[in-house]
Amino acid sequence: MFQSVATSLTANVQYQCRIHLDIYDSPALERLATQAAAGRRLWIEAQPNASFDSTTAIAIRLCEDDYPGWIGPEAVEQLDIAEVPYQSPSWSAAEIQAKIPAAIAFTKAAMSQPNHYLWGGTVGPNYDCSGLMQAAFASVGIWLPRDAYQQEGFTESIALADAEPGDLVFFGPAHKATHVGLYLGNGEYIHSSGKDQGHNGIAIDVLSATGTPISQTYFAQFRGVGRITSSYPRRP
């Protein structure tokens, strides 16, 4: 099904990752933007039939969430040409609801492992907030956009009083969601939070102004609840 890539890449062709790959936010390859788990698909954002040497950073776009980034030249040897194009899964609302318990179980299993907060992390054991959400739902075949603000825009907004386990809870300033967690019920949510105002890893907090200091800090930034009703569409 796959052909080896070697050192020649082609735009408008899908490639599949042979191993987990780090994806960076610039050609300097200094700051992690996201990660691509083994098996994920990507496009090369380059001129057709471009040739790459050992010093060339490569612009790519992941197929499942349409997320852009850069990979190092050493990653080329870890790509295979995918002869069958990626197709976005299509789930009904009832099918998605049936998958919620397994997605929740994924986050709790991730919490049980030694972990720390990793900006750009979407491959265990270390995640950022939206990376944990994306990985949890991808584990059951449901794709979400990559970043918290994108996930907020993708989900169906509902009232906190109507929140159910498996909904996403969003936090941040008035203009943009900057943090996300997975609602567990009874006011609790699980999330991966950073060092400055969080746990430096995955933990459970409560939506309350009278909870722990960390819970209070996030509750003061609470923006709303979003329900997942579909899987993210593939790139046109």
Enter the tokens of residue 140: 């059951």
Is residue 42 domain-shared with residue 103, that is, in the same domain? no
Is residue 107 domain-shared with residue 71, that is, in the same domain? no
Is residue 102 domain-shared with residue 189, that is, in the same domain? yes
pLDDT of 52 above 90: no
Is residue 139 domain-shared with residue 212, that is, in the same domain? yes
Residue that is written with structure tokens 């994108």 in the block: 150
Mean pLDDT along residues 32-50: 85
Q: Is 55 exposed, middle or buried (0-12, 13-18, 19+ CB in 10 A)?
A: exposed
pLDDT of 1 above 70: no
Whether 232 maps to a domain, the answer reads: no
Average pLDDT over the chain, rounded to whole?
92
Mean pLDDT along residues 6-35: 89
Whether 88 maps to a domain, the answer reads: no
Alpha carbons 135 and 105: distance in angstroms, whole number: 12
Query: Which of the two residues, 1 and 174, has the higher pLDDT score?
Result: 174
Q: Which domain holds residue 173?
A: 93-227
Is residue 129 domain-shared with residue 217, that is, in the same domain? yes
Alpha carbons 124 and 104: distance in angstroms, whole number: 15
Q: Which amino acid is at 122?
A: T
pLDDT of 5 above 70: no
Whether 116 maps to a domain, the answer reads: yes
pLDDT of 49 above 60: no
Is residue 114 domain-shared with residue 191, that is, in the same domain? yes
pLDDT digits (tens, 9 = 90+) for 53-98: 567 899 999 999 999 999 999 999 999 999 888 999 999 999 999 9
Is residue 40 domain-shared with residue 62, that is, in the same domain? yes
User: Cβ distance 130 to 148 under 8 Å?
Assistant: yes
Is residue 102 within a helix (H) or strand (E), and if so which, with residue range?
A: helix 93-112
User: Domain holding 8: CATH number?
Assistant: 2.30.30.40
Is residue 54 domain-shared with residue 169, that is, in the same domain? no
Whole-model pTM: value is 0.93
What stretches of the chain show up as alpha helix (H) in DSSP? 93-112, 129-138, 148-154, 213-219
pLDDT of 235 above 60: no
Is residue 25 domain-shared with residue 101, that is, in the same domain? no
Whether 235 maps to a domain, the answer reads: no
User: Domain holding 161: CATH number?
Assistant: 3.90.1720.10
User: Cβ distance 211 to 205 under 8 Å?
Assistant: yes
Q: Is 13 exposed, middle or buried (0-12, 13-18, 19+ CB in 10 A)?
A: middle
Enter the tokens of residue 77: 């040897």
